[in-house]
Amino acid sequence: MRRQQDREIISSLHEMFSRQREIVQRSFLVRDKVQLLKEQIPWEDFRPLLEPVRNSSPESERPAYDELLLFKCLVLQELHELTDEELEAELCDRRSLQDFLGADAHTILPDYTTIRRFREALNREQLIKPLADLFQTHLREKGLTVDDGLIANPIFFAAPNKETKNSDNNSSV
């Protein structure tokens, strides 16, 4: 009887640690992807394409964000499959994402409405496809691919909202 209990405990511990190991490995994989993209993609190449958004942005009381920083936010959003609200929270919480953006402790990070307005401005200026094409070109030149179709699709700027995510999850059942 005691041996059976010991086996069950060991089995439970093994299962628990296996799940934890899997979570940690996925976390390192994502962090590695973000670091790889930071190092391998010549981000300044996107700045000329983003120039029309700078010129079309209405004046507001909010701080002006660098268009390249906002573009990199959209890349992170797709890589992590986040809604605008989730991206805002992750940017505030995860140092690895802040590092990818080039943000330091004094950088004010964009909120979810800023991210949404930036995506809408890209769409209005018809910049989504050219930006996605340039991104894909850089990935190919570096021999990089991103699995599960993430980032590869030019519609990656259409951030899901919570309702869309839930309906997508329900429709596959």
Contacts of 45 (CB under 8 A, 6+ apart): 134, 138
- Go through the chain and tell me how many residues it has: 173
Answer whether 133's CB lies under 8 Å from 45's CB.
no
More confident residue, 152 or 54: 54
Res. 44: pLDDT tops 90: yes
State what percent of residues in the chain have pLDDT above 70: 65
Q: Considering its fold, how many domains does the chain have in total?
A: 1
Dump pLDDT digits (tens) for 3-41: 777 677 777 666 666 655 554 444 444 557 788 888 889
What residues make up the domain containing 148? 2-171
More confident residue, 156 or 65: 65
How much is the average pLDDT of 51-61? 66
For the entire predicted model, the pTM comes to: 0.67
Q: What is the DSSP letter of 121?
A: H
